[in-house]
Structure 1
Amino acid sequence: MSDIPQAVEPASGPPSLAEWAGGGEAFARIFTRFYERVREDAVLAPVFAAMDPHHAEHVARFVTEVLGGARLYSQAGGSHAGMISRHMDRHLTHYQRRRWMALLLDTADSLDLADDPEFRASLVGYLEWGSRLAVMNSQAGVPPPDADMPMPAWTWSSPGGPYQP
């Protein structure tokens, strides 16, 4: 028997992006503040004029789940197809999408969300992918999504794509 200590594998892998960010509570703070700011934004206020009072909570739960956190969104009956359906026929523009991105990232910075380069690259990658998908699916004539489509699962290594085997 050797006296040389053996490397021990960690019990689990790296934290999820959601854990790294501070969990669902962090995303709830960000999206609550973000949608408060949306009401005052000349570009985005008209888009969200009829926003459900629980919209920030739903989006926070969706993003938390996509980034590897608690599955509160899907456990409450939410789905990726449902989220896509909420954007259909809204005729969103890339100008509105860019403003949404800028205001959301500014809000994240103002609330001190983790800003290390690796986390931010993954977060921005997901937000770019998701917001561009929202614009594409908001145009006229887009067929409804497949109800069985999987929830996206974005990880530290997702720049190659959101779905993990």
Structure 2
Amino acid sequence: MRPSVFEAAGGGTALLALARAHHARCLADPELNHPFSHDDQHPQHVERLAAYWAEVLGGPPEYSASCGDQPALLRMHAGNGEMTDLGRRFVDCFVAAADDAGLPQDPELRAVLRAYMEWAVDDVLTYSDPGVPVPAAAAVPRWSWDGLQA
């Protein structure tokens, strides 16, 4: 049986390294720096991000059990207005962070990770205009080798 994307990436330790590397890249980016340097950011932001990505990619439901749900995550990112090219920059940082974190170089894994993040950014940006309602109920998405799972 094929391992989950979570397992193929290296599990929780690898996704924590990815979240740390991604956060560092976002802080270093002149445009992404501002949203990533707020003082009101949760003190365990990186760990929570890693738990979210782990759950999405087939790992344990730690994010849902201890951090929040999908509507809360969407509300956190909603209503920020025009994002210009922040979404593309976010994806570029994610792709580069996979190298920084030492994730496997497997081209199929890297393509799946990029496809997930492009979808995730598009999904979050759906709620970027002020006043756009965020769903009251939604499950944490699940992403596999075949993309978004129903």
TM score, norm. by length of structure 2: 0.90
- Post-superposition Cα deviations, 1:122-155, rounded to whole Å, max 9, x if no partner, equal 11111000011111212122112222x1221111
CA distance in 2, matches of 1:77, 1:99: 26
Matching residue of 1:154: 143
SS in 1 for 2:144: coil
Shift of 1:23: 0.6
The AA in structure 2 aligned to 1:152 is P
1:14-59 superposed Cα distances (whole Å, 9 cap, x missing partner): 1100000001111111111221232222110112221333111111
Give the superposition deviation at 1:92: 5.1
Q: 2-side partners of 1:27 and 1:156: how far apart? A: 17
Q: Distance in 1 between matches of 2:51 and 2:9?
A: 13
Query: 2:6 touches 2:59 (CA, 8 Å); kept in 1?
Result: yes
Q: CA deviation at 1:102?
A: 0.8
What letter is aligned with 1:73? Y
Q: Is the 8 A contact 1:94 1:135 kept in 2?
A: no
Describe the shift of the 1:84–1:40 C-alpha distance in structure 2 as closer, same or farther (beyond 3 A). same
Residue 62 (structure 1) aligns with: 52
Distance 1:72 1:59, change over 3 A: same
1:42 to 11, 20, 30: 30
**Residues 89-138 of structure 1 deviation map (CA, whole Å, 9 limit, x = unaligned):** 12251401111111121111122212212212211111000011111212
Equivalent in the alignment of 2:149: 163
* 1:83 and 2:70 are equivalent in the alignment: no
Measured in 1, the distance between the counterparts of 2:70 and 2:79 equals 17
Q: Report sequence identity in percent.
A: 32
| Corresponding residue number in structure 2 for 1:21 | 9
SS in 1 for 2:34: coil
**What CA distance in whole angstroms lies between the structure 2 residues aligned with 1:96 and 1:77?**
25
Which 10-residue stretch deviates more, 60-69 or 107-116? 107-116
Which deviations, in whole Å up to 9, do the C-alpha atoms of 1:53-103 show, x marking residues without a partner? 311111111011000011110111421111111111122514011111111
Provide TM-score, normalisation by structure 1: 0.83
- Which residue of 1 is the match for residue 113 of structure 2? 123
Partners of 1:61 and 1:137 in 2: CA distance: 22
Contact 2:48–2:67 (8 Å) recurs in 1 = no
